[in-house]
Amino acid sequence: MPLMNLRDCRALERRLLCGWYYIFSSRKWKRSKVSARRSQECAGILNFASGCHNVSDADICSICANSLRNQRIICVVENIRDVIAIENTQQFSGTYHILGGVISPLDGIGPDQLQIESLISRLAKEQTEELVFALSPNIQGDTTIYYIQKKMQNLQCRVTTIARGIAFGGELEYADELTLGRSLQNRMPVDRYISH
Ligand SMILES: [Zn+2]
């Protein structure tokens, strides 16, 4: 087998890190007893991009740094698992913004604990044309969309959401590639989805 070049090594490293992150942030793992310590250890070896908060060994992640991707479209997701799920569909060519969760008062998660401020500043700085919400179709996801939308009222930016009428089985990561891909293609203005 030929030796891998540096680029291949980095790609492999990233895939491994994403794999570990995927496992450590899964629901099953979180419920397990050793999860807290292991998750901390995992977070310690992972670096995150400062703009989009994706896993990255550089300050700008490989997706944001890719000039072939549409930098004017940002897809808002809860975590890196959602990035992997959407990337697997090959139906999205913009960039991502990872919130780190959704607003959930019952779980003690408020807007300040999420990467919402950095999203709003990105929208102004990057002259974003479209913001696509790909959040779980539940009350927490809806609350988060509503909150972010209110915060960006002075910005000229199209706001859409992936089609949410289709049964995802609860969360994005559980959606099959075809369904998720289709829902990305059929995204709709968020106003039509959430009535204020
Ligand atoms: Zn990025």
196 CA distance to ligand 1 middle (Å): 31
pTM across the whole model: 0.76
Average pLDDT of the chain, as a whole number: 81
Residue type for position 139: I
First to last CA, the chain: 59
pLDDT in tens, 89-114: 999 999 999 999 999 998 899 999 99
What's the whole-number mean pLDDT along residues 47-54? 92
Q: Is 189 helix (H, G, I), strand (E, B) or coil?
A: strand
Name the percent of the chain lying above pLDDT 70: 69
CA of 2 to the centre of ligand 1 (A): 31
Pairing of strands 73-77, 95-98: parallel
CA of 177 relative to ligand 1 center, distance in Å: 22
What pLDDT is stored for residue 74 in this prediction? 98
Ligand 1 midpoint to CA 32 (Å): 30
Distance 33 CA to ligand 1 centre (A): 32
CA of 155 relative to ligand 1 center, distance in Å: 21
CA of 51 to the centre of ligand 1 (A): 6
Reduce the DSSP state of residue 97 to 3 states and report it. Answer: strand
Instruction: Please state, in angstroms and rounded to a whole number, the distance separating the CA atoms of residues 182 and 177.
Output: 8
Q: What is the pLDDT of residue 169?
A: 43
166 pLDDT higher than 60: no
The confidence score (pLDDT) of residue 42 equals 59
Expressed in angstroms and rounded, the spacing between residue 71 Cα and the centre of ligand 1 is 10
Predicted pLDDT at 138:
85
